[in-house]
Amino acid sequence: MTSDEQRLWQQVGDDEVIYDGWLKIHRRTYRLPDGRTAEWDMHAGGPTVAVLALTPEGRLVMVRQFRPGPDRVVLTLPGGMIDPGETPEAAGERELREETGYAAGSVELVVSAIANASPYHRHVVIARGCVPRHDLALDDFEDCEPVVMDVASVRSELRAGRMTGSEQAYLALDHAGLL
């Protein structure tokens, strides 16, 4: 049986930027255990955070917005990019405020998930005691509509495959004991 250590690929040289637009893509060269080399395209945008926002009544603060990948308006958890020097918790509070106008009583980092084609983590935080306190502060190309839903409705949307960020949503619901 081959050990995990024997299966590791070794990076050869530095990453090459092959696209630097809305998404940043790097190409990384690896030497495989059998000596061959392979190129791998990596999403290099940076770490992200998704927020499971719970109101005092136990409802979820979600966002409806257009997403270019599915080319339609979808339901998702609030979230986005983590700024340099920002913790996942602080980024989660900021993204919640900007995209929904809600403020949290507490924010807890519950998991930092890995991706297969990115060196960056996708963090999940749970925000509790969320109440509306602010105006939305959207980026130039954001069109977020905050929606407050019961847990059963969000679980139904997830099961139907109609949400983006479903991995983070399932992780968040699991950590909150809401699956």
- Tell me the domain boundaries of the chain: 4-43, 48-175
Ordered DSSP codes for 53-95: EE-TTS-EEEEEEEETTTTEEEEE-SEEEPPTT--HHHHHHHH
The amino acid sitting at 1 is: M
Pick from 92, 104, 97: nearest CA to 136? 97
User: Under CATH, which architecture does the 48-175 domain have?
Assistant: Alpha-Beta Complex (3.90)
> What does pTM read for this prediction?
0.91
Q: pLDDT tens for residues 90-144?
A: 999 999 999 999 999 999 999 999 988 899 999 999 999 999 999 889 888 888 8
pLDDT tens for each residue of 155-174: 999 999 999 999 999 999 99
